[in-house]
Amino acid sequence: MRVVLQHVTHARVSVNDQPIAEIGRGLVILLGIGHADGEEQARVLAEKIARLRIFKDKQGKTNLSILDVGGSAIVVSQFTLYADTRKGRRPSFTDAALPEVAAPLVEKFAAFLAAQGVPTQTGEFGAHMLVEIDNDGPLTIWLER
């Protein structure tokens, strides 16, 4: 699994000009699923993200987790995180899991994150989405499990 975390002050996901997810302070989690990924990777990654200390405390140090600040999350499936650009000029996505494998794992990951106490919404798997991100910092972190 590959994740790009973006610390946000506001985010919204729309499909066909209709908002389907919206949060204030929290995280947008762009999630890519690979062939070898399963429920255990999803669970471990959700637990790590819920407790990752990337929010500032009163002294301005990144000492607080999303749980500590009462933040929310939006999980957006992002198979393009598995883009292979080593050859040619057109990315290959053969390392990304097929939709029938990836879709349930994205939902599992979101459920695991919610079970940690993080209010969690999702994008729409396979849809063309408009993802609006007000990145705070900017703070963007790459995780791989």
The answer to whether residue 144 sits within a structural domain is no
Q: What is the mean pLDDT of the chain?
A: 97
Active-site choice (78, 120, 121, 122)? 78
Catalytic-residue membership of 55? no
The answer to whether residue 145 sits within a structural domain is no
Q: What is the pTM of this model?
A: 0.95
- Tell me the per-residue pLDDT of 62-108, one tens digit each, with 9 for 90 and over: 999 999 999 999 999 999 999 999 999 999 999 999 999 999 999 99
Domain range for 14 is 2-135
- For the chain, the domain total comes to 1
Q: What is the predicted pLDDT for the residue at 145?
A: 83
- Tell me the per-residue pLDDT of 36-45, one tens digit each, with 9 for 90 and over: 999 999 999 9
Catalytic-residue membership of 120? no
The answer to whether residue 51 sits within a structural domain is yes
Collect all residues with Cβ–Cβ distance below 8 Å to 111 and sequence separation of at least 6.
120
- How many Cβ atoms sit within 10 Å of the Cβ of residue 24? 12
Catalogue the E-assigned strands of 33-128. Answer: 55-56, 62-64, 72-77, 120-122
Cα distances (angstroms) measured from residue 19 to each of 15, 38, 74, 100: 6, 29, 12, 25
